[in-house]
Amino acid sequence: MSSQRTSLIWAIGLGLVAALISRGAAQTGQQDPPEVNRPPAAIGCSFTGPLVHVPSKSAGAEGLLVRISPPARGRYPEGAPIAVHMNANRPNVTGSRACLSERGFVDIGFLCPGGEYRDTAGAQWQSGGEVVNQASDPAGCVESLGDVLSFATGNLRSAEGKLIQDYVPGARAMTDNAGIIGWSFGGNLSVLAMVRYGDRFPNLKWYASWETPILGPVDDGRGSRYEPNPFYNPQTDEIDFSRLRYSREMPVWVWPPIELRPQPDWPRGGLFLDGDGNGRFSRDVDFAFWVDLQLGPPLKVFYSPMVTRRAQEQKIFGNIWPAHIATTEELEARARRNDALRQIPEAVRRFPRLAVLIFESQEHHIAGFGGARHVNAVAQVNGWLAARARWVRFSPDIHYLAQAMGKPSARTVQHPAMKALDDKSIADLLEPETERGGPTDGQAMSAVVSELADRTQSNVWVPTLSRALVQ
């Protein structure tokens, strides 16, 4: 794998990150990013079923490790629809936030190249190949997802020469009703897989998106749970860029912050909002912008397009742009390859019959990526609509939510399919958090996926429903 394609983004294997920066004792200073312990994997339920290997050029001779988790019985008399989980931050074969096998689906989880899993008996399993950047490397986990989808839709056999049906006893594996769940940045990867490798799974039927940051992996600066931005106004969704400054001494703040421990040779020179007006970065009173780091050579850090444009317009760097910070031209060149939002029209061209359902709660799981206007959700819904996708909806039908939650949904407003979003209308369509009576992530996405599969099975595409199609 080319080292120039090795960038640190929130989907990267965090073990690789730790190895790259563990050359000395941990050093933290007043300017360094927050130290954050690695949180437990976001798994709300477990996958059970056989572990198999699926051939993929991205995973060498060994292939990709895939878990097939079948249901006790199919959702329909005709069989069990198939849900492929794309967990970008922690690809795994252990479980997910939602296990659709509980609702009559076949769940599929997998490990990206180089990923490892130890079962309860202590046996070590793994995907072949090297640890890759799941987010953007076209030879890595995006291609891996393409091959897993090819297997899930009946177009590719396992390394044992078997079809998916051979691993699903007691029900027909419905390769004609299969889709993707894009968890967080996994939604971006799902779109890229459709565009780059869609010819390997042409019978894909639906795509479910959970709080996908379609506008990119690095936030513009609304703040994160690790570093709230005191200079962001959530009422107006505006950032006080008049405070934008550059510090040559400040270590760059790399996203994600998990397990990052800057060393003495860590790259320095970053952008921040100056809280006290003294021109020097201080973590106590200022706000640092996060970056996506490409190790290189050459080393390059990527700020969000908005922050980069502001730095250019305000001449923050003077007459000489720092060599390690990507320019707007370099950002654009990378976006042409990896910007999922601008790839949506091509995804629709390849999958003209694809059904899309997008979910986001009142509080995005990464604080700052929702914002007052929930710009990622609005952009994605409107992007699919503008591309003339077959069927697009924001938030599942309230009847499916009630079915998943076992009680009526707190949301009573139905947003019909094929209707655009704006920053004013979306407020009434967002589900409250669990502690305020809303669904869990698992319940929400069970409703989303069940509605997609049921509509596919019944061929019912009316904008709203008067009841769940499967009781």
Whether residues 315 and 281 share a domain: the answer is yes
Whether residues 331 and 384 share a domain: the answer is no
Domains in the chain, number: 2
* Between 338 and 344, the higher pLDDT residue: 344
CATH code (residue 394): 3.40.50.1820
Whether residues 49 and 81 share a domain: the answer is yes
Report the pLDDT value the prediction gives residue 338, as an integer from 0 to 100.
Answer: 86
Q: pLDDT band for position 5 (50/70/90)? A: very low
Which range of residues forms the domain containing residue 330?
Answer: 219-336
Whether residues 254 and 398 share a domain: the answer is no
Report the pLDDT value the prediction gives residue 40, as an integer from 0 to 100.
Answer: 53
Q: Is the pLDDT of residue 2 over 80?
A: no
Whether residues 308 and 375 share a domain: the answer is no
Is there a domain that residue 204 lies in? yes
Report the pLDDT value the prediction gives residue 254, as an integer from 0 to 100.
Answer: 82
Report the pLDDT value the prediction gives residue 375, as an integer from 0 to 100.
Answer: 85
* Between 208 and 222, the higher pLDDT residue: 208
Is there a domain that residue 108 lies in? yes
Averaging pLDDT over each range in 43-57, 119-133, 343-357, 418-432, which range is the top one?
343-357
Is there a domain that residue 468 lies in? no
* Between 400 and 88, the higher pLDDT residue: 400
Q: Is the pLDDT of residue 236 over 60?
A: yes
Q: Is the pLDDT of residue 28 over 50?
A: no
Whether residues 211 and 354 share a domain: the answer is yes
Whether residues 330 and 398 share a domain: the answer is no
Mean pLDDT of the chain: 86
Report the pLDDT value the prediction gives residue 437, as an integer from 0 to 100.
Answer: 82
- How does strand 124-126 pair with strand 116-118? antiparallel
pTM of the entire structure? 0.86
pLDDT in tens, 276-288: 999 999 988 999 9
Whether residues 315 and 375 share a domain: the answer is no
Q: pLDDT band for position 140 (50/70/90)? A: low
Q: Is the pLDDT of residue 26 over 60?
A: no
Whether residues 82 and 180 share a domain: the answer is yes
Q: Of 311, 336, 361, which residue sits at a domain end? A: 336
Is there a domain that residue 429 lies in? yes
Q: Is the pLDDT of residue 134 over 60?
A: no
Whether residues 52 and 97 share a domain: the answer is yes
Nearest 10 degrees: Cα torsion 425, 426, 428, 432: -170
User: Between vectors from CA 198 to CA 195 and to CA 201, what angle results, nearest 5°?
Assistant: 160
Report the pLDDT value the prediction gives residue 410, as an integer from 0 to 100.
Answer: 84
pLDDT in tens, 285-332: 999 998 887 766 788 899 999 999 999 999 999 999 999 999 999 999
Whole-number Å distance between alpha carbons of 41 and 78: 34
Burial of 316 (0-12, 13-18, 19+ CB in 10 A): middle
Is there a domain that residue 208 lies in? yes
Whole-number Å distance between alpha carbons of 457 and 265: 57
* Between 212 and 18, the higher pLDDT residue: 212
Whether residues 101 and 200 share a domain: the answer is yes
